[in-house]
Amino acid sequence: MFENKIVGGAIPKEYIPAVEAGIRDALAQGPLAKQPVVDLKATLVDGKYHEVDSSERAFYTAGAQALRDGVLRGAPVLLEPVMRVEVVAPQEYTGDVIGDLSARSGTVTGIEPHSSGAQGITAHVPLAKMFGYATSLRSATQGRGTFTMQFSHYQRVDDDTRQMLVKKTA
């Protein structure tokens, strides 16, 4: 959200949209890992205008830089999508399935027996860790396990992942 609280003409009205555009564009590529910045309100409260040196481009750049500086001062966090995974597999493979989900940084939230002798296992797993899971599940259950996956929520990435992402984009 962008809010203009300029009073008294510190910045001419024709430059306010340029400041907002700079802020919005800077939101698309955040300062940490070039990922979008979300859940933020920017308020324009003051500025300086110079008759000769001011331009729309200068105010655009000032808005973008102010956003980057402000976000970094606010201790931003990186979030990753977490999926709700439901696995159905024969009971004898329950330990292998739980072990594989745990190895993928998953948290098992429930185990429920099914009438067919199978177990239903529910877990929350970061999406990045789910690539290749279908093959892994087939191997662990001799092709007798199935799973469904849907978005659950976002969570903060762990420190090792954060450092890797920030270093990769630096």
Asked if residue 97 and residue 46 are part of one domain, the reply reads no
Whether 156 and 97 map to the same domain: the answer is yes
Does the pLDDT at position 170 exceed 70? no
Taking Cα atoms as reference points, which of 76, 92, 168, 87 lies closest to residue 125?
87
Total domains, the chain: 2
Percent of the chain with pLDDT over 70: 99
CA distance 30 to 55: 24
In a domain, 107, yes or no: yes
Task: Record the pTM.
Answer: 0.71
Q: Is residue 109 part of a domain?
A: yes
The helix (H) or strand (E) run that includes residue 155 is: strand 146-156
Asked whether residue 42 is assigned to any structural domain, the reply reads yes
Q: Residue type at 71?
A: V
b (16+ CB within 10 A) / e for 86-95: bbbbbeebbe
Residue 141 falls inside a structural domain: yes
Using pLDDT thresholds of 50, 70 and 90, give the confidence band for residue 89. very high
- What does the pLDDT average to over 6-30? 87
Domain end, chosen from 33, 51, 73, is at 73
Average pLDDT of the chain to the nearest whole number: 90
**Are 113 and 46 in a shared domain?**
no
- Indicate whether 42 and 101 sit together in one domain: no
The answer to the question of residue 127 being in a domain is yes
Ranges 27-36, 58-67, 90-99, 122-131: which has the least confidence: 27-36
Residue 166 lies in a domain: no
Range of the domain at 48: 2-73
Structure-model confidence comparison of residues 25 and 12, the more confident one: 25
Q: What is the CATH number of the domain that holds 104?
A: 3.30.70.240
Predicted pLDDT of residue 45: 87
**Do residue 51 and residue 85 come from a single domain?**
no
Whether residues 68 and 109 share a domain: the answer is: no
Domain membership flag for residue 34: yes
Same domain, 155 and 95: yes
